Amino acid sequence: MNTNIAVKDKPRKNALVLFIHKLGSPPWFYDFTGKFIPWLWLIFVGLAAWALYLGLVRGPADYLQGESVRIIYLHVPAAWASLLIYASMAVMAFIALVWRIRIVEILAMCSAPIGAAFTIVTLTAGSLWGRPTWGTYWVWDARLTSELVLLFLYLGVIGLYNAIDEPRKAARAACLLAIVGAVNLPIIHYSVKWWNTLHQGSSVSLLGGSSIDASILWPMLIMAFAVKFYYLANLLTRARVRLLEQDLRKGWVKDVVREQRP
Amino acid sequence: MSHLPFIWAAYSIGTVVLLWCAFAPLVRKKSAVRDIRRLIQLEEPARDTDT
């Protein structure tokens, strides 16, 4: 008798599929992500400190912009993060609406305040860079206005999510708004090409290289890499807290709290 | 025009916003854990009297 036939016929799950299934379980997600968060913060702090040292201490002033160029080590990575976070929020919102995965819903909703924070940093740092460089804090040009619209979209998602008492209904409504709002992302990106703007065109391109000197480019790229770790660490921290709040009466949450020191 | 005040202002605002964004969930967690502890304290004596 060949017993291997039965073993072969049994459907086997791919390791990645199993991992995704596990991530859908709130206790497992809470426990698993808790191990990574301190490391993510540590990497962020290390990379950000390195980027700031290269940019603010070692880096030269720009021949045209002078010392104000140092603001771009904050402004550009924050601007890229504001777009990337919105894009990831919209993708997660789509997954949450189609497959109704609660943790993905939570992750999408927890992305909104972080994205809003980066958009505020982008707008304020850009405005403070604009005053010495352009001679004005603000102009209603396409890039600045579309970035401001992005902030309103983030605030809209946060407001809609908090306006409805039932968390899953609230998440579904806010996810829909997040998906609709994604139309603003190409507008922000291409605004400097489609319209005549005071804001300069892209200086860094994934395929076309960069027109920025390496002494300025590298601190900016390192900082852009660092903020991804900030986003991940902050997102997972927020998602874990949201899970505790939503599963308040469940056994696993009580076990987690019992294990913690009072 | 000195650019230094603009640089300081940009980094100060950025630091405050990102620190607030990082610490806000920790404050929320503290409050959630307090609520859950209260719930556990309310439920446990009730379970003891049931048995």
**What is the ipTM metric for this complex?**
0.89
Q: Using a CB-CB distance cutoff of 8 angstroms, which residues of chain A are in contact with residue B11?
A: 71, 74
Domains identified in chain A, total number: 1
Q: Is residue A260 part of a domain?
A: no
Q: Using a CB-CB distance cutoff of 8 angstroms, which residues of chain A are in contact with residue B16?
A: none
Residue ranges making up the domain that contains A191: 40-203+213-244
pLDDT of residue A1: 47
CB within 8 Å: A241 and B22: no
Q: Is residue A12 part of a domain?
A: no
Specify the pTM. Answer: 0.91
What is the full per-residue pLDDT of chain A (262 aa) written as tens digits?
455 555 555 566 788 888 878 888 999 999 999 999 999 999 999 999 999 999 999 988 888 788 889 999 999 999 999 999 999 999 999 999 999 899 999 999 999 999 999 999 999 999 999 999 999 999 999 999 999 999 999 999 999 999 999 999 999 999 999 999 999 999 999 999 998 888 888 777 766 677 788 889 999 999 999 999 999 999 999 999 999 999 988 999 999 998 876 6
Q: Is residue A56 part of a domain?
A: yes
Geometric angle at alpha carbon A162, from A156 and A165, rounded to 5°: 140
Q: Read off the CATH number of the domain in which A125 is found.
A: 1.20.120
Q: Is residue A13 part of a domain?
A: no
pLDDT of residue A8: 56
Q: Is residue A167 part of a domain?
A: yes
Nearest residue in A to B14, CA atom: A121
CB within 8 Å: B10 and A245: no
CB within 8 Å: A128 and B29: no
Q: Is residue A5 part of a domain?
A: no
Q: Is residue A19 part of a domain?
A: no
A vs B, Cβ pairs < 8 A, gives: 85
Nearest residue in A to B29, CA atom: A241
Q: Which residues of chain B have pLDDT under 50?
A: none
Q: Is residue A85 part of a domain?
A: yes
